[in-house]
Structure 1
Amino acid sequence: MNPYHNLFLAERFYTEDGATSSALAAIEEDRSRIVQCSPVRRLQQKTQVFPLDVKASVRSRLTHSLEVKETGRQLARQVLQEIPVEVDREAFISLVEMACLLHDVGNPPFGHFGESVIIDWLGSQLSPLFQQAVGSPSLQWPALLADLCHFEGNAQSLRLLHSLQGLNLTLSQLAALQKYARGAYQPRTTGSWQQKPGHFFSERLLVHKLHQSFPSTAGGRFPLTYLLEAADDMAYGIADLEDAVDRGVLSLAELEQALNGEANAYLVRRWQQARVGEPGFFGRFRHALNRDLLPLVSEQYLLHHQAILQGTHAQPLLAVARPAAEALHWLKDFAHRRVFNRREVEALELAGFAALKGVLNAFAPLLALSADEFTSLGQRQDAKGLVFRRLYHRLPPRHLAAYRRNAGQAPGFDNDQEREWYFRVRLLLDFVSGMTDTYVLEEYRLLCGLQG
């Protein structure tokens, strides 16, 4: 039996009236839902490398995601040329493309740095806030607390698309987006793709459905996710350095000197052939490197085809000792060593640190309230209650609706008070992580009395 027939499904988590029975038609409909959704639009004001940059030529998360999408499309086409079984080409390409476009939608403001700030704040603040709001924990609470404290952009992407935006994408599209196999509430094991959480406790029913529909995802990955990961690596490997040069944080001479002293002969040769210093250099350099990486990724996908279909292949497709892959790894490592720790970048991140932590601290008192106090804020007339009510009114209606749907009836919780508080924390995290870089700064200024 052709294994790809079972990977392309029209099925969605929620049944829809008049839904098509064709997998391709449903996957094509996903494209329209994805391209028009607000989380994709918000990527235009979220950080790639340089927060709050006003230069149009420097990449945002949106332009990065568009580049990943195009690279993913090329990889899918390359693989399809040699795949040993009949495959629905349009469905295969569309699933890869849209997973690439969506892969960063759950990232908070200020990217991975912002993620670290949120995790640090949660680790220091949640336990005392829980004590004030709820009191003594149940036996289930340590797992729920671990889930809340391990904020992760990949897991937030799944939550954002499914639980908050309600896009009701096909199960195939959601499976292609999941890079990691374990939940944030589950301990890390020695199995494959356990490095980071791939989903939160709040989305475990969806993930259970994915496991039922695609057995490879129960302990590993959906096969097309390997191509998403490779496309992301290929896209930012050179782009971050190009942006650094464009912004004046790094010079071509500095990069060339390091490359000649540290990189492999393959990378030095590709650099020289791209005619450094002439107009269009980075475009030629990127094209030459990708021209070699595309068949390499395809070769690795087909070499490990059976393990990938079973979800058991444990390495990224570019984790191989081949000149082009090693060159890409060197470029990424150089960016981390010589760009991300530059004074200019760190200064922008410090502004993000102050804003993110300031917003979280300002809204923290809402988490110290009991459930009854929180839900009755509309009736309080004392000074403190009026302040809390105004904070409450700044929370987005869509996120509040998700909180109300789940706080009183979501299954799987042993304690009603803990369920309500769990989704109250999720409400704050949904709000803050969904902010753009500029929005979190504006909110911070307002809360500090500096607006206007």
Structure 2
Amino acid sequence: MDFKKKITALRSYGRATPPTDISYLAEQFESDRGRIIQSAAIRRLQQKTQVFPLENNSAVRSRLTHSLEVQQTGRHIVRTIFKKLNQNPLDIGLLPFEREVETLVEMACLMHDIGNPPFGHFGEAAINHWFEKHLDKHVLFAQSSNKMLALQLKHELKNFEGNAQAFRIIFNLLRLNLTYSQAASILKYTRSGLEQRPDKSKPLSYLKKKVGFYYSEMEDIKSMSTHLEIKPGHRYPLAYLMEAADDISYCLADIEDGVEKGLLDCQQLSAHLIETFNRYAGETSTQRITKNKTFEEAVEYALGRSEKEPINKTHEFFVWLRVQLIHPLVDHAAVQFIDNIESVYEGDFNRALLEDDSIFHNVISTFKDVAIKYIFSTHEVETKELQGYQIISGLLQAFEPLLLCKTDKFQDMVWDRKRGRLLEARLYKRLANKHLKAYRVAIEPLINQPDFVLLEFYYRCRLIQDHVSGMTDQYAFEEYRNLYLA
């Protein structure tokens, strides 16, 4: 293992052979930090859904506040790893890069959700259902002589995925020009959008269970993987830490938001947590989670502290639940990373760090199960999700005339040769300028290629998906209202 090959200052455009000394690396990763924090993609997260769309209660999490919590958990995991490495030095080549790894994981955690559309996973479902329903009627795919590529591109467009959209934002929409090490840290899934999902029995099946990047970013991913020596279908090692931080953070946070919203109280939640954990853990439920407490004792202790708190009982309950449960989960993730470091380094470790047969996996499963059953499945949340689905579907329907345009007619509008018909011209003007520019940059080199009609239509579909998925919840709602209800 040679982490010097994985932790580098190489970028898409910049120095071909940047210095390798630690001070230069630190400087470049600090530059990445600035580019990420000051990007529009991060700012938009403050008005994107975590669980409750269009939420007025500022105490309930947005994608931004969730991402900040994941960032903190990621930092905690990294520090725990290096504490263990310093106590029992292992020759894995990481010790010189402590601050650099901490920065890379922190920023990966902060931006891991930047590709998510409005209204969360229901927004993803709405985009995919609309394209599944409507894309087959668009004849530009059928007219292509390259039938295989046409089928693959059509398959990809029916599988919008927030993780893949994040790479589109990084490389081609915002062109952040991050170091390859920083960009690779969020490559959670390693399957191209052109590929089919592999069977669970296949190697790397977990890493390929979702689309990780699109055809439009394939060359960027290839270049990144070549420079970082990541084999096809494999992961960058620090992405495992970003994933673990997200797994630890989001379920407990979603449950807390449900209590904040009054969907259940701390006593009800405690009973559900204990009952669900005992069902998952079975005979191991009496095993200690912390140094001196079982899961049930940890939950009951948090509840006892809450009942003694005269002002903010909910806050007190979750403070003590986190104090007791987050630390052992972080510690277990760190141990898993170190114990499996060779496979993690190679990027073929075919599961999440916390997805094992341990009691800590039972804790994660308990949080997820309780959140699904008692938060996500409530009438209020399902109503909001249905509203979000209707908004996204309606916006895509509104912009469909742009997809129905013939290639030459759409190109006339793109290159300002002709204004276009009244409806299409009005819709075209509503598209974000940055997305239109990205579309032009993508298609201009393709104009004289035999497959131009096919590829142009692919990028036109991407343009519409970019536009709608890039909206905040509030903007999507306002645009829907402007187009349908004004």
TM-score by length of 2: 0.88
Alignment partners' CA distance in 1, 2:276 and 2:173: 46
Other structure's SS at 1:8 match: coil
Partner in structure 2 of residue 423 of structure 1: 459
- Mean alpha-carbon deviation: is it higher for 19-28 or for 347-356? 19-28
Q: Judging changes above 3 Å, is the alpha-carbon distance between structure 1 residues 310 and 258 closer, same or farther for their aligned structure 2 residues? A: same
**Would the aligned equivalents of 2:8 and 2:180 in 1 still touch at CA under 8 Å?**
yes
2:29 to 15, 27, 30: 27
**Would the aligned equivalents of 1:210 and 1:217 in 2 still touch at CA under 8 Å?**
no
**Would the aligned equivalents of 1:110 and 1:352 in 2 still touch at CA under 8 Å?**
yes
> What is the one-letter code of the residue matched to 2:301?
Q
Partner in structure 2 of residue 155 of structure 1: 164
**Would the aligned equivalents of 1:39 and 1:105 in 2 still touch at CA under 8 Å?**
yes
Deviation at 1:314, TM superposition (A): 0.8
Partner in structure 1 of residue 281 of structure 2: none
Alignment partners' CA distance in 2, 1:48 and 1:120: 21
Deviation at 1:254, TM superposition (A): 2.3
For the pair 1:116 / 2:152, whether they are aligned, the reply is no
- Mean alpha-carbon deviation: is it higher for 214-223 or for 344-353? 214-223
What does 1:205-354 correspond to in 2, within 5 Å? 205-264=219-278, 265=285, 266-274=294-302, 275=304, 276-277=306-307, 278=309, 279=313, 280-354=316-390
Q: Judging changes above 3 Å, is the alpha-carbon distance between structure 1 residues 308 and 255 closer, same or farther for their aligned structure 2 residues? A: same
Partner in structure 2 of residue 97 of structure 1: 106
Other structure's SS at 1:364 match: helix
Q: Judging changes above 3 Å, is the alpha-carbon distance between structure 1 residues 405 and 102 closer, same or farther for their aligned structure 2 residues? A: same
Superimposed CA distance per residue, residues 326-380 of structure 1 (whole angstroms, 9 cap, x where no aligned partner):
1121111111122111100011111111111110000011001112111224666
**Would the aligned equivalents of 1:45 and 1:60 in 2 still touch at CA under 8 Å?**
yes
- Mean alpha-carbon deviation: is it higher for 342-351 or for 368-377? 368-377
> What is the one-letter code of the residue matched to 2:134?
Q
> What is the one-letter code of the residue matched to 2:186?
L
Other structure's SS at 1:216 match: coil
Deviation at 1:217, TM superposition (A): 4.7
**Would the aligned equivalents of 1:8 and 1:24 in 2 still touch at CA under 8 Å?**
no
Deviation at 1:19, TM superposition (A): 7.5
**Would the aligned equivalents of 1:51 and 1:349 in 2 still touch at CA under 8 Å?**
yes
Alignment partners' CA distance in 2, 1:23 and 1:260: 46
Deviation at 1:20, TM superposition (A): 7.0
Other structure's SS at 2:376 match: coil
Partner in structure 1 of residue 475 of structure 2: 439
Alignment partners' CA distance in 2, 1:18 and 1:393: 42
Deviation at 1:444, TM superposition (A): 0.5
> What is the one-letter code of the residue matched to 1:23?
L
What does 1:390-405 correspond to in 2, within 5 Å? 390-405=426-441
Superimposed CA distance per residue, residues 50-88 of structure 1 (whole angstroms, 9 cap, x where no aligned partner):
111111100000000000000000101111123323331
Partner in structure 1 of residue 96 of structure 2: 87
Partner in structure 1 of residue 48 of structure 2: 46
Q: Judging changes above 3 Å, is the alpha-carbon distance between structure 1 residues 260 and 78 closer, same or farther for their aligned structure 2 residues? A: closer
**Would the aligned equivalents of 1:45 and 1:61 in 2 still touch at CA under 8 Å?**
yes
Partner in structure 2 of residue 360 of structure 1: 396
**Would the aligned equivalents of 1:408 and 1:419 in 2 still touch at CA under 8 Å?**
no
**Identity within the alignment, %:** 37
Other structure's SS at 1:109 match: coil
Q: Judging changes above 3 Å, is the alpha-carbon distance between structure 1 residues 10 and 52 closer, same or farther for their aligned structure 2 residues? A: same
**Would the aligned equivalents of 2:446 and 2:452 in 1 still touch at CA under 8 Å?**
no
Deviation at 1:150, TM superposition (A): 1.1
Taking only aligned residues, the RMSD between alpha carbons, in angstroms, comes to 2.1
- Mean alpha-carbon deviation: is it higher for 287-296 or for 318-327? 318-327
Partner in structure 2 of residue 386 of structure 1: 422
User: Where does structure 1 lack aligned partners over 5 or more consecutive residues?
Assistant: none
Alignment partners' CA distance in 1, 2:162 and 2:113: 7
Partner in structure 2 of residue 164 of structure 1: 173
Alignment partners' CA distance in 1, 2:230 and 2:440: 34
Alignment partners' CA distance in 2, 1:145 and 1:205: 19
Alignment partners' CA distance in 1, 2:78 and 2:463: 37
Partner in structure 1 of residue 218 of structure 2: 204
- Mean alpha-carbon deviation: is it higher for 318-327 or for 55-64? 318-327
Alignment partners' CA distance in 1, 2:170 and 2:272: 42
**Would the aligned equivalents of 2:144 and 2:451 in 1 still touch at CA under 8 Å?**
no
Deviation at 1:249, TM superposition (A): 1.6
**Would the aligned equivalents of 2:270 and 2:300 in 1 still touch at CA under 8 Å?**
no
**Would the aligned equivalents of 1:10 and 1:24 in 2 still touch at CA under 8 Å?**
no
TM-score by length of 1: 0.94
Aligned length: 446
Alignment partners' CA distance in 2, 1:56 and 1:389: 39
> What is the one-letter code of the residue matched to 2:77?
L
